């Protein structure tokens, strides 16, 4: 069967154009399509085949070959032979997309080839460079190694032995305990967690002489009884953080109940509906906003007696009534000397009045930092207008305590304006809030000269601070935690954190402004120096006492173990001798001599044990001798080696 003429022309290779023939000026794609249609219509005519690609002189694009420019081989398939007329029949947009795809494929291949050859050249050059360097450095060593092959074998054996030891160690001790032990062996000793937070030496030179009773603070706090902790919160001293520790961070039999979204917590005694803590976060501002020492000592006993449920806050007129009645009772009391205003006498008066023991605590801060922090707080809009400042049963008048600003608040005030106000309560705030203001006529400055008034206030603040159950310093958080735990025998769950970066530390002041702030707070500067000296002396005293107690317990434990060992040795020796004496009774003229000696030694040892036990029982009953101090000496012969027999068993 004969094929059509169009099919025969499709299978034939396209003829090459003659040299010197003029180039086609029409569009190559349109010309190819027209010629193909004419060839298909004229079956019997001999049509000159037209190239499917563009003519000479027309660009094919970057790195692309002309389509069907070369003649097909005789071994081409039917589909390959029919590619040219089929490509010519495609639309212009389809052919353009095919050219773009081919161009992209050629560019990717070129980039991959260039990258491969470049990397190969770079690796080759690097190999030559490293080879030259190693030949220069290890050339002599290589020559020596070739001379002595036994040393190489020995080194390889040592390396293999080390790897085997590491594998065995990891198999025997796979956990982290061995790793921690190895790290501790090569690391420095653990630093003291109670070392000074300001990176200074833990030891200091005391400036004041305090007695043992001033340094030893040991409160027998009975949370199930009638004891009450009263927290005197001075502004911008870190009292908010410490107050949260008191209600959220203490290990108690019945912890405080703190609900989400509420500032106050319910701190009841175990089995009772009475509070053991009088603070902002337990009872609220029951005696006024940031009540000072004068207000608290007059208000707390009456509030506690008249308010059994600590969740109910008395009204403002109720607070005035309580303070007025307390001041009248205080003025009518027969004890009107200056010593009656000390915390010890006030505690006795409160105990006889309400039959409760009130333990006052507070936190102090460096005066310059506290002053700057209060200025920043006032600058943000704080006023403390709700503070009562009640003294001697009445609040101060506007003439006695003028205001430093005229508007609703003092927000945005500069530091110079804050320091220029002579009635600013930020000046010497810590001394004023810790002293007994009734000694100087409260806020009436005309009662006595200013110099005498300052002296009385400072001495009163020092006395009250020294007789308080506890006080801490903001700059020594860990020491504050330690002393509180030792004073009240109450442990915190998590340790305190020392924040060295505060709003006050971000304020940059020059030396002149700092000296002026110190001059405005000269009473606070003197009080803080006194408080810091007393605080650090108490800390060192308690630490030394703990070390002595730990050393005494270790000595008692060693003596107890030594006594048990001697007792066991004597008993075994006595039993052996008694058996030997029973066997050789006929040969020994005095058979009971050794046995009597052993029995005497055993009896003396048992007698010493009994005496030591009785001495321990006497030491464990301090309530029978409350005024007697403990003796830390451990040298009473063998009578003290038992110490804590039941405890160490």
How distant is the alpha carbon of residue 339 from its chain centre? Answer: 44
pLDDT reported for residue 639: 39
pLDDT bin (cut points 50, 70, 90) of residue 582 is low
Beta bridge partners of 359: 229
Residue 154 has pLDDT above 80, yes or no: no
CA distance 517 to 416: 10
DSSP assigned state of 622:
T
pLDDT reported for residue 562: 83
Q: Contact 488/219 with Cβ under 8 angstroms?
A: yes
CATH fold for the domain made of 218-306+355-546: Rossmann fold (3.40.50)
Q: Is 169 helix (H, G, I), strand (E, B) or coil?
A: helix
Q: How does pLDDT run across 217-240, given as a tens digit for each residue?
A: 999 999 999 999 999 999 999 999
Q: How does pLDDT run across 465-502, given as a tens digit for each residue?
A: 999 999 999 999 999 999 999 999 999 999 999 887 77
Question: For residue 284, which of 234, 343, 325, 233 has the smallest C-alpha distance?
Answer: 233
The catalytically annotated residue of 233, 245, 268, 290 is: 290
CA distance 9 to 46: 9
Of 188-197, 380-389, 526-535, 622-631, the poorest mean pLDDT is in 622-631
- What is the Cβ-side half-sphere exposure of residue 257, based on CA atoms within 13 angstroms? 9
Determine the average pLDDT of the residues in 155-175: 72
Helices of type H across 399-476: 415-420, 429-434, 450-467
Residue 99 has pLDDT above 60, yes or no: yes
Q: Is 472 helix (H, G, I), strand (E, B) or coil?
A: strand
Identify the residue with better confidence: 394 or 641: 394
Q: Give the helix/strand (H/E) hosting 188.
A: none
Q: Look up 569 and say whether it is catalytic.
A: no
Strand order in the sheet with 470-473: 277-278, 227-232, 357-364, 470-473
pLDDT reported for residue 4: 54
Beta bridge partners of 357: 227
Residue 647 has pLDDT above 50, yes or no: no
pLDDT bin (cut points 50, 70, 90) of residue 314 is very low
Of 362-371, 563-572, 579-588, the poorest mean pLDDT is in 579-588
Domain ranges of the chain: 218-306+355-546
pLDDT bin (cut points 50, 70, 90) of residue 600 is low
């Amino acid at each position: 069967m004969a094929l059509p003429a169009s099919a025969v022309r499709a299978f034939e290779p396209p003829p090459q154009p003659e040299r010197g023939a003029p180039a086609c000026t029409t569009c190559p794609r349109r010309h190819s399509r027209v010629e193909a249609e004419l060839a298909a219509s004229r079956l019997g005519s001999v049509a000159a085949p037209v190239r499917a690609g563009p003519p000479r002189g027309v660009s094919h694009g970057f790195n692309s070959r002309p389509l069907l420019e070369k003649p097909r081989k005789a071994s081409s398939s039917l589909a390959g032979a029919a590619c040219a007329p089929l490509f010519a029949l495609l639309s212009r947009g389809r052919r353009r997309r095919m050219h773009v795809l081919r161009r992209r494929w050629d560019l990717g291949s070129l980039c991959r080839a260039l990258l491969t050859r470049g990397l190969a050249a770079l690796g080759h050059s690097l190999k030559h460079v490293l080879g030259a360097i190693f030949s220069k450095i290890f050339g002599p060593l290589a020559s020596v190694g070739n001379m002595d092959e036994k040393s190489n074998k020995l080194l390889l054996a040592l390396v293999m032995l080390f790897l085997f030891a590491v594998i065995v160690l990891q198999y025997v001790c796979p956990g982290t305990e061995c790793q921690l032990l190895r790290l501790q062996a090569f690391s420095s000793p653990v630093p003291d967690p109670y070392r000074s937070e300001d990176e200074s030496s833990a030891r200091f030179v005391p400036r004041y002489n305090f007695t043992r009773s001033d340094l030893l603070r040991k409160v027998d706090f009975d949370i199930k009884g009638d004891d009450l902790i009263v927290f005197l919160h001075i502004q911008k001293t870190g009292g908010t953080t410490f107050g949260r520790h008191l209600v959220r961070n203490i290990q108690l039999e019945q912890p405080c109940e703190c609900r989400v979204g509420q500032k106050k917590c319910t701190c009841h005694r175990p089995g009772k509906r009475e509070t053991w803590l009088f603070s902002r976060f337990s009872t609220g501002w029951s005696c006024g906003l940031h009540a000072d020492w004068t207000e608290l000592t007059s208000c707390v006993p009456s509030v506690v007696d008249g308010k059994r449920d600590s969740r109910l806050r008395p009204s403002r007129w109720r607070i005035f009534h309580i303070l007025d009645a307390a001041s009248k009772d205080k003025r009518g009391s027969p004890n009107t000397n200056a010593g009656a205003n000390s915390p010890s006498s006030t505690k006795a008066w409160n105990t006889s009045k309400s039959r409760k023991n009130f333990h006052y605590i507070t936190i102090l801060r460096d005066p310059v930092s506290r002053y700057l922090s209060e200025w920043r707080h006032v600058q943000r809009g704080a006023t403390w207008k709700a503070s009562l400042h009640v003294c001697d049963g009445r609040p101060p008048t506007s003439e006695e305590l003028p205001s430093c600003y005229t508007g609703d608040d003092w927000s945005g005030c500069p530091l110079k304006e804050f320091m220029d106000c002579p009635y600013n309560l930020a000046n010497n705030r810590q001394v004023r809030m810790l002293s007994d203001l009734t000694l100087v006529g409260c806020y009436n400055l005309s009662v006595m000269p200013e110099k005498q008034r300052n002296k009385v206030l400072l001495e009163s603040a020092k006395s009250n601070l020294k007789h308080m159950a506890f006080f801490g310093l903001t700059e020594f958080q860990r020491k504050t935690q330690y002393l509180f735990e030792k004073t009240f025998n109450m442990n915190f769950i998590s340790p305190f954190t020392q924040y060295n970066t505060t709003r006050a530390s971000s304020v940059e002041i020059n030396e002149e402004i700092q000296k002026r702030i110190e001059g405005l707070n000269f009473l606070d500067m003197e009080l803080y120096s006194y408080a810091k000296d007393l605080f650090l002396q108490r800390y060192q005293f308690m630490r030394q006492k703990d070390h002595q107690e730990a050393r005494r317990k270790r000595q008692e434990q060693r003596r107890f173990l030594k006594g048990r060992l001697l007792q066991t040795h004597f008993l075994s020796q006595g039993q052996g001798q008694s058996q030997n004496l029973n066997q050789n009774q006929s040969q020994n003229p005095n058979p009971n001599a050794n046995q009597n000696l052993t029995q005497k030694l055993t009896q003396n040892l048992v007698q010493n044990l009994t005496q030591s036990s009785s001495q321990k029982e006497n030491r464990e009953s301090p309530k029978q001798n409350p005024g007697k101090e403990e003796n830390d000496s451990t040298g009473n012969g063998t009578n003290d080696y038992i110490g804590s027999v039941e405890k160490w068993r």
